[in-house]
Amino acid sequence: MKTETVELFYEELGQGKSVIFLHGFPLDHTTWLPVAHLMQNKARCILPDLRGLGRSPLTGMDTGIPQMASDVIRLMDNLHIFQAVIVGHSMGGYVAMQMAHSFPDRVVGLGLVATRTEPDTPEKSAERLASRQDVLANGPDALISTMAARLTDKPDILRQIVPVMQRTSPQGIAMAQYAMAYREDATAWVRAIEYPVVVVAGGMDGISPLEGMKNLADSLQRGKFYSHPYATHMIPMEEPGLIARALEETYFM
């Protein structure tokens, strides 16, 4: 497995307490811009592209979630940020939870948006790895067509995210699939956290169902649950005000 960190591309908005927003698969930092625009008067919002995605480089296709977490820590070091609230959407949530576990002194708050703590089942892991091989052999068009429909049914959101997915390299997609397929179970890690953890769900999310997200929040020591009945998996773009309010009420009051 590759061990070297990479220099992540990022966008920065605002000043104040640092909040780092980690995007989902196979997307980039722009999915978080609606939330960052709402929070920039209260927070220093850092929006990186995770390695191999967006405009961030790739060093290998067998990189795991722990190394992706280390990349973000390196970015924090470069920006002279010792501690931050880490907010992750979908795959970004896996990286956020890994950061809270591996670098607990660097994380002072956690936001989990449309994600899950459990690892893939053996069947799901095998499905990801098969898709990875197909992407490398035949390109990402089939995956993008299938994935886009699972992410959202909102035409305006699809018009924004499909081009992002189409710009993603097959190698970057393959790397992320490998990382997700072999990720660890984060359930015990998150349940041990003593600070407030924000959990946000969409009622129309077919990937991270609302009931599972609510159960996650209820299992935490200080879980705070927020939801929107009509939001899909792309809740950061569909209901940015809900996420901004959740973070502000929890960490900025």
pTM: 0.97
- Is 164 domain-assigned? no
- Is 127 domain-assigned? no
| pLDDT recorded at residue 2 | 45
| pLDDT recorded at residue 3 | 55
- Is 70 domain-assigned? yes
| Contact yes or no for 96/50 (Cβ under 8 A) | no
**What are the strands of the beta sheet with 223-228, ordered from one edge?**
10-13, 43-48, 17-22, 84-89, 107-113, 197-202, 223-228
Q: Which domain CATH number covers 217?
A: 3.40.50.1820
Distances in Å between the alpha carbon of 152 and those of 134, 161, 163, 180? 23, 10, 14, 20
Per-residue pLDDT of the chain (253 residues; tens, 9 = 90+): 445 779 999 999 999 999 999 999 999 999 999 999 999 999 999 999 999 999 999 988 889 999 999 999 999 999 999 999 999 999 999 999 999 999 999 999 999 999 999 999 999 999 999 999 999 999 999 999 999 999 999 999 999 999 999 999 999 999 999 999 999 999 999 999 999 999 999 999 999 999 999 999 999 999 999 999 999 999 999 999 999 999 999 999 8
CA distance 207 to 202: 10
- Is 32 domain-assigned? yes
**Domain span holding position 99:** 10-119+183-251
- Is 93 domain-assigned? yes
- Is 166 domain-assigned? no
Total structural domains in the chain?
1
- Is 196 domain-assigned? yes
- Is 88 domain-assigned? yes
CA distance 131 to 177: 8
Beta bridge partners of 46: 12, 20
Q: Is 146 exposed, middle or buried (0-12, 13-18, 19+ CB in 10 A)?
A: exposed
Residue in 24, 52, 23 with CA at minimum distance from that of residue 147: 24
CA distance 174 to 190: 27
